Structure 1
Amino acid sequence: MPFAPEPLDPDDDRPPYEQVASSLGAAIRTRRLAPGERLPSHKELTELFGFARATIQRALRDLEDEGLVVSRKGSGVFVRNRTERPAGLRPYVEQAFASQNVTIDFAGFSSETLHGALQEPLDKIRVGRLTPASIVIRILVPDMSVPQAAPVRREDCADDPRLRERMRNIMIGYARSIRDSVAELSHLGLVPETRVDVRVHSGTQFFKLYVINQADAFFGYYPIKPNKVMAQGEAIEIYDLVGKDTVLFHHSLNDGDSSGGTQQVEQARMWFESVWETIAREFDLDAQ
């Protein structure tokens, strides 16, 4: 069956090449364009979207830069097999909000990256371009009231309560912002049901994990690197968990029942649920 893109939003004020890239990217992520499949030709895409050839070429370059497609000279443009490749989180989060019921489970160090990835889809809900019926987000982070393996002082690898207090404040700031932004959508009558829950556990979080709509998982390790931070007015040399250097790998139930991707998603869901329901403790963001 020939590929047919979803109709573009006439109220979308993004440049045409971004609209085309977004449409094709969504088709790739939902497997309407399968891994290894050849995309329609430039001429066909020009006719399908109604934009100039230069617009189509720019959109395809953006998709190639994102790692979603690969261009083969003389053969055309093909969807990459991305299951074991580094993946960008933001486009998948935005695509998740096109669903009626949005669920995001996050386990990590502070939820800073999640906070950033949520901004665009939440803005689109505010202007009526996305209309989910429910949003449920669960955030699982380490308990910074107890010593952790990191961050620690660089000079002796010792625990420092000032470092833990700094990280605790960072976590609370991002988690509160996520909760308040999502709750606002309910107060405005834009999303009937919203909930953001936060729980803590005593173990150090050496990796970050996202499970989106119970169908896609993103996993990556935090490298530990030297850093210098300000804590209670003093500059301290530390060994830190560095989230910005975390490479995320994407796995999806859409990869097929017998694939490694499906098993990865199932195991990620099992791990998160097991920690959430056993050793994790509720954390009141407003009691701090």
Structure 2
Amino acid sequence: MADALRDRILSGDLRPGAKLPTQHELAEEFDTNRTAVRQALDTLRREGLLTGTGRGAPPTVAERALSHDAPRKADIELADRLYEAFRAEHVTIDVFSLTTETLNTALAPSTIAISRGELSPRSIAVRVLLPSADARLALPRLVSDPEGRDPRPLERLHELMHTYVSALKGHLETLRMRDLVAEVAVEIRTVPLTPTHKVYLLNGTEALFGYYKVKPRTVRYKGEEMDIHDVVSISTPLFHHAQGPDLHGEHGTAFVAETRQWFDSLWSSIAQPLELG
């Protein structure tokens, strides 16, 4: 139902300010119950396509439904999109990033909802691409070491990477062990690349893209302070693209398809399994 109504809004059949049918009318049209209607309307409200989805008057199409809203911080945008992705029976998540810190944080609302019975996917499959431990990455590195000869910043990065990956795998495996999700698969591979951007592909139909910005900061490692050039992660904005018509025709569909092919090309060629110590 949400997909059908979204198509009507994005195609212009339902213009900004137009009122939707009542919940009773929608339940009859789609041959479903009021609970399913409310869930579909709430999905569209969270996407910014509807306003006034509470009790009373029928909701209306948001005035900015056909415009491109400003991208939001990675943890907020990803958390919202993951929650919607977890409504599917079979969930797939593909990630290219420096670590899985943002993913770990953004998954929390969805896994809590699964524990409460609000979401009930039958399977979750996660594929993650991270930078190789033996690659000479451009970042992070000491501010005073422009040639990157000091190994400590990269050693710190890979320790963080392993910590976040272990937490991610453990958290998702717990859902399977508690019989909340029947099938859970988490596979981590590495590539000899320095990520300058982060990508999240959700259920093969949505792509979230954000740039890493470089900034100097002070960190502690093994009891010492280091001034390093590092990247902004959780606070970086994510640009959302989805399959379906938009202001640029089929731009979203093309972007998602190309991003999926790009990810698969890395995954099936130079990517190597990450060994957790």
TM-score (norm: length of structure 2)? 0.77
State the secondary structure of the residue aligned to 1:239: strand
1:254 is aligned to 2:244 = yes
SS of structure 2 residue aligned to 1:209: strand
1:81 aligned partner: 66
The answer to whether the aligner puts 1:277 opposite 2:268 as a matched pair is: yes
Distance 2:5 2:158 in 1: 37
Task: Note if 1:68 corresponds to 2:48.
Answer: yes
2:6 to 22, 27, 31: 31
Count of residue pairs brought into register by the alignment? 243
How far apart are residue 98 of structure 1 and its match?
Answer: 0.6
Q: Does 1:101 align with 2:90?
A: yes
* Matching residue within 120, 124, 132 for 1:131: 120
Q: Partner residue of 1:113? A: 102
- Amino acid corresponding to residue 252 of structure 1 in structure 2: A
Rounded Cα–Cα distance in structure 2 between residues aligned with 1:260 and 1:172:
36
- 1:252 touches 1:262 (CA, 8 Å); kept in 2? yes
Are the equivalent residues in 2 in contact too, given 1:199–1:281 (CA < 8 A)? yes
The share of aligned pairs that are identical, in percent, is: 31
Aligned-pair CA distance for 1:86: 1.3
> CA contact under 8 A between 1:154 and 1:226: conserved in structure 2?
yes
Please say which of residues 80-89 and 259-268 is displaced more in the overlay. 80-89
Whether contact under 8 Å (1:28, 1:34) holds in the other structure is no
Please tell me whether the aligned partners of residues 124 and 185 of structure 2 are also in contact (alpha carbons under 8 angstroms): yes
Which shows bigger deviation, 111-120 or 159-168? 159-168
How far did 1:244 drift? 3.0
Aligned to 2:179: 189
| 2:208 and 2:241 in contact (8 A); partners too | yes
Does the 8 A contact of 1:84 with 1:250 survive in 2? no
**Match of residue 201 from structure 1:** 191
Distance 1:264 1:84, change over 3 A: farther
Q: Give the distance between the partners of 1:84 and 1:265, measured in 2 at CA.
A: 18
Q: Is the 8 A contact 2:156 2:221 kept in 1?
A: yes
Q: Kindly state the Cα deviation for residue 41 of structure 1 after the two structures are TM-superposed.
A: 6.0
8 Å Cα contact 1:153/1:236 also seen in 2: yes
Worse overlay, 152-161 or 126-135: 152-161
CA drift of 1:145 comes to: 3.2
Whole-angstrom CA distance in 1 between matches of 2:83 and 2:4: 11
Q: Write the distance in 1 (CA, Å) between the matches of 2:135 and 2:154.
A: 8
Within 2, Cα distance between the matches of 1:69 and 1:30? 10
What's the offset of the Cα at 1:181? Answer: 1.1
Shift of 1:30: 7.4
Is 1:232 matched with 2:210? Answer: no
Who is 1:16 aligned against?
none
Q: Aligned partners of 1:125, 1:206: CA distance in 2, in Å?
A: 33
> Over residues 228-247 of structure 1, what are the superposed CA-to-partner deviations in whole Å (9 max), with x where a residue is unaligned?
11122111111112113422
Bigger shift: 92-101 or 237-246?
237-246
Residue number among 147, 153, 174 corresponding to 2:142 in the alignment: 153
Q: Distance in 1 between matches of 2:5 and 2:210?
A: 22
| RMSD of equivalent CA atoms | 3.1
Question: Any gaps of 5 or more consecutive residues in structure 2?
Answer: 27-41, 52-59
Whole-angstrom CA distance in 1 between matches of 2:190 and 2:232: 19
| Separation of aligned partners in 1, 2:217 and 2:125 | 34
Change (3 A) 1:249 1:168: same
Whether the 8 Å contact between 1:104 and 1:138 is mirrored in structure 2 is yes
